[in-house]
Structure 1
Amino acid sequence: MKKLLVLGASRLQIPILKKAKEMGIYTIAVDWDSLAPGKSEADEFHQISTNDVKKLHLFAKELMIDGIITNSDFPMRTVSVISRELRLNAISPISALLTTNKLLLREVLHESGITGPKFAKVSSISDVFFKSEELGFPFILKPVDSSASRGVYLIQNHQGIEYAYEKAIQYAKNKILIAEEYISGREFSVESITYENNTDIIAITEKITSGPPNFVETGHIIPANITLSEGESINELIRSSINALGINNAITHAEVKVNPEGCFIIEIGPRLGGDYISTDLVPLATGYDLVENAVRMAMNYEMRSFPKLNRAACIGFMVAPPGILQKIEGLPSEASPELVRMELFVKEGQSINSLRSSLDRLGYILVEGSSNEEVKNKIENLSAGIKFHVTELNGG
């Protein structure tokens, strides 16, 4: 039986583990967390850090694996090194480095003439004050090595710099931040696959966020409400970015903004899109199984073609003010014909944080339909009656 090594056993990796097992592949998962939720989905589990390249290289060689994969950002560097050493199918170490460091990513894209925000490296509060004169207000401050919107802050004026810096630096592993010009406009994510240096754009997703200061994603819709011209511009932007970064043999998730001045690349990474975009929204709306072809690519199997659908899908995330969750009311019935799936991440009596990252969301509702408008209406109808009764921590 063929063996696939999966770096990580978090929620993000579960769709990969399940799909590989469906395909008759023996799955081996590793994670630093012995209680990782994906542990039970793997045929074999080992408690090893996904960033321990030396140990994992020896481990993979001993097991004689046939493929290696991850759906997390930083373990992609480990995947690239091990795949190179064992002659497996994955992106190159240089591409993995460029796409997991926001500063290097921005520098390469800028040098390649690809439209994006103005930016600057900062490593102290004085750096931020100095660069604010060049970037202008508002601007974004974020770690070069974080994910899930952690440590991302919009700074509106000089008074907001110190607070944003002190918060953002807590999420920076190497204590380096990047300050970026704030690009206004509509937000989209793009899922694509590059195999043997040929890129196919699979889906463009319309994004809904909490807005400033943290821009946490609260919903996604496929297909995006865009014009033909906007779609063509986005596709060209993505292909140019993938080429500039040397990405090959990878699924790619990118984030872009569109305004009257054009299309701007915000982020791009060689992994499946999170927030159930790749795993649920894309197959529901387009019929394309990105997870299966990601596994096929890692195993060096032939890519599979899928019957094309022209439908729509939407996910809406539940949020509430911070405090102690006392009661939840008005959840839709799981038997509702409008509902594909619903999941809660919290229980009554649990403490709820302020909405600063995607980890602070309380659950989600997933629907499908025949159009963008239909699925948006379904989400609104299903969400309308949900009430989270929260007692503020200060007793107010």
Structure 2
Amino acid sequence: MVTKVLMIGLDKAFVDSLVASNKNYEVYILEEKEIYDSCSVEYTRKPIKEVRFSQYQQSSEIIDIICKWHKEVSFNVIVPGAEYAVKGTYKAMDILGFANPGQIAVEACTNKYKLRQICCAIGVPQPNFLKVNSTDQIEKFFNKKPIVIKPINRQASVGVVKVEKKEDIAGAWEECLNVSEGSRVVKRSLKWEYMVEDFIRGYEVSIESIVLKGESLFNNITYKDTIGGNYFAETGHIVPAEICDKDKQALLNSNEQMLKGLEAKSGLFHSEWKITEEGPKLIECAVRAPGDKIPELIKEVYKFNLFEAFLKVLMGEQPEINYTHNSYAGIRYFRPNPGRLVKITGVHILKDSPNVIKYLLNASSGQIIRPIKCSWDRIGFYMVRGNSLEELKRIMLEIENEIKFIIE
């Protein structure tokens, strides 16, 4: 039996995971023409059968196009493959009668300010916040403690800046306003909104929650590293996170409180949290597959395909889930200093180590390495497995010590 999947916006990792499955999939892609033209070769991968074009970034045009295409093909499932496609995709799915996360959840998980408002009302712990459109508003919010300025409706830590001094507000605000995502965002005029919130200290995790008909079926906790300083680009993840029972239970309780408050129906939720001295505090939540190879880490450890489980709940069906693990997996993004790259040494360790699952290095001699401010600035990664957390960390440390980026 063939499962026909309509994906709005290409998620390469998602599509590739279906190739590795023992099930038969046909994937149809609805994409922004401008984004397709910038990397058309990516759409030739199996099992993509057809690509059509529509605006979906801050556009409702896709809703009618999805409905018409569904009448032609009779898709088994429809899924967002890009953050900026989430809202329109789920709206069309609701119209067509497909299982979906629910209107309240979708609205909140595509707008960080709305998420804050709802979670404030239902008592989910989170930082103080304010919607802003000027430096005056930010300065009034600032109370001699670190704050974070962020876009309400962007992705991948783009434009998210920490401010510790009042005199730095104007520069951070200007930086937030003028960020670019390059070819990932269309050139037509789009509207971005902004907010400010207290910076909270603590270690960071994410929860990947599979929800079916309002019931949480699976909650994985992923440990997260970020770049530090004034930016929040993610630089590493470990699955599963090894945290104390007290923090784990408080985290899962807060996550369940959030899902219930959002009236979550069916879907995959990727929420991010800081664990503080007072307990967990919500950073944000997406209602799509997580990035940064987290689904691949989950598959390595739990031995099931998170992407396929996501499709199953969107089909209103019980997914195949394994709840036990006896290993760990992690990903690290390379963090070279900014400057002109002369050479890279020690790469052989990535080829020689049996614990390296995969790696990617998009850098060559003469290239200018930019500071890592968001996910799009990263130049590559390596993924590693270990029988224990200690073994995993030891292997990662060996790799970090061996690979050197010579910068001038």
Q: TM-score, normalised by structure 2?
A: 0.89
Question: Aligned letter for 1:339?
Answer: V
Question: Residues 166-187 of structure 1, C-alpha deviation per residue, up to 9 Å, x if partnerless?
Answer: 0112249534211011110111
Deviation of 1:369 after TM superposition, in Å, equals 1.1
Q: Secondary structure at the match of 2:83?
A: coil
The one of 317, 320, 327 equivalent to 2:343 is 327
Question: Aligned letter for 1:170?
Answer: N
- In the alignment, the residues of structure 2 paired with residue 316 and residue 204 of structure 1 have an alpha-carbon distance, to the nearest angstrom, of 17
- In the alignment, the residues of structure 2 paired with residue 344 and residue 158 of structure 1 have an alpha-carbon distance, to the nearest angstrom, of 38
- Hey, what does 1:114 align to over in structure 2? 124
Q: How does 1:1-396 map to 2 (within 5 A)?
A: 1-15=2-16, 17-18=18-19, 22-32=22-32, 33-34=35-36, 35-36=39-40, 38-41=42-45, 42-51=48-57, 52-53=61-62, 54-133=64-143, 136-171=144-179, 173-278=190-295, 280-306=296-322, 308-331=324-347, 332-391=349-408
Deviates most, 246-255 or 1-10: 1-10
User: CA 1:160/1:180 → structure 2, altered by over 3 Å: closer, same or farther?
Assistant: same
Question: Aligned letter for 2:31?
Answer: D
- In the alignment, the residues of structure 1 paired with residue 230 and residue 292 of structure 2 have an alpha-carbon distance, to the nearest angstrom, of 20
- Hey, what does 2:186 align to over in structure 1? none
Question: Aligned letter for 1:298?
Answer: L
Q: Is the 8 A contact 1:321 1:354 kept in 2?
A: yes
Q: Is the 8 A contact 1:169 1:176 kept in 2?
A: no
Q: Is the 8 A contact 1:288 1:307 kept in 2?
A: no
- In the alignment, the residues of structure 1 paired with residue 275 and residue 119 of structure 2 have an alpha-carbon distance, to the nearest angstrom, of 17
Q: Secondary structure at the match of 1:210?
A: strand
Question: Residues 114-147 of structure 1, C-alpha deviation per residue, up to 9 Å, x if partnerless?
Answer: 10000000011111112214xx420111000111
Deviation of 1:38 after TM superposition, in Å, equals 4.0
Deviation of 1:26 after TM superposition, in Å, equals 1.4
- In the alignment, the residues of structure 2 paired with residue 82 and residue 61 of structure 1 have an alpha-carbon distance, to the nearest angstrom, of 12
Deviation of 1:242 after TM superposition, in Å, equals 0.9
Question: Aligned letter for 1:7?
Answer: I
Sequence identity percentage: 25
Number of aligned positions between the proteins: 387
Question: Aligned letter for 1:8?
Answer: G
- In the alignment, the residues of structure 1 paired with residue 270 and residue 41 of structure 2 have an alpha-carbon distance, to the nearest angstrom, of 24
- In the alignment, the residues of structure 2 paired with residue 81 and residue 308 of structure 1 have an alpha-carbon distance, to the nearest angstrom, of 35
Question: Aligned letter for 2:149?
Answer: L
- In the alignment, the residues of structure 2 paired with residue 70 and residue 175 of structure 1 have an alpha-carbon distance, to the nearest angstrom, of 20
- In the alignment, the residues of structure 1 paired with residue 204 and residue 163 of structure 2 have an alpha-carbon distance, to the nearest angstrom, of 19
- In the alignment, the residues of structure 2 paired with residue 14 and residue 353 of structure 1 have an alpha-carbon distance, to the nearest angstrom, of 30
- In the alignment, the residues of structure 2 paired with residue 275 and residue 353 of structure 1 have an alpha-carbon distance, to the nearest angstrom, of 19
- In the alignment, the residues of structure 1 paired with residue 263 and residue 363 of structure 2 have an alpha-carbon distance, to the nearest angstrom, of 41
Deviates most, 73-82 or 300-309: 300-309
Question: Residues 284-335 of structure 1, C-alpha deviation per residue, up to 9 Å, x if partnerless?
Answer: 2223421111122233443213362231111111022233333222112424
- In the alignment, the residues of structure 2 paired with residue 270 and residue 37 of structure 1 have an alpha-carbon distance, to the nearest angstrom, of 28
Question: Aligned letter for 1:159?
Answer: E
Q: Secondary structure at the match of 2:138?
A: helix
What are structure 1's unaligned runs of at least 5 residues?
392-396
What are structure 2's unaligned runs of at least 5 residues?
181-189
- In the alignment, the residues of structure 1 paired with residue 49 and residue 18 of structure 2 have an alpha-carbon distance, to the nearest angstrom, of 9
Q: Secondary structure at the match of 1:91?
A: coil
Q: Is the 8 A contact 1:367 1:375 kept in 2?
A: yes
- Hey, what does 2:187 align to over in structure 1? none
Q: Secondary structure at the match of 1:74?
A: helix
Question: Residues 214-237 of structure 1, C-alpha deviation per residue, up to 9 Å, x if partnerless?
Answer: 121111112223111111111111
Question: Residues 9-47 of structure 1, C-alpha deviation per residue, up to 9 Å, x if partnerless?
Answer: 24354345536x752121101222222564122122223
Question: Aligned letter for 1:274?
Answer: G
Q: Secondary structure at the match of 1:189?
A: strand
Question: Aligned letter for 2:132?
Answer: V
Q: Is the 8 A contact 2:350 2:359 kept in 1?
A: no
Q: Is the 8 A contact 2:223 2:239 kept in 1?
A: yes
- In the alignment, the residues of structure 1 paired with residue 25 and residue 240 of structure 2 have an alpha-carbon distance, to the nearest angstrom, of 32
User: CA 1:30/1:351 → structure 2, altered by over 3 Å: closer, same or farther?
Assistant: farther
Q: Is the 8 A contact 2:266 2:316 kept in 1?
A: no
Question: Aligned letter for 2:69?
Answer: F
Deviation of 1:361 after TM superposition, in Å, equals 1.2
- Hey, what does 2:185 align to over in structure 1? none
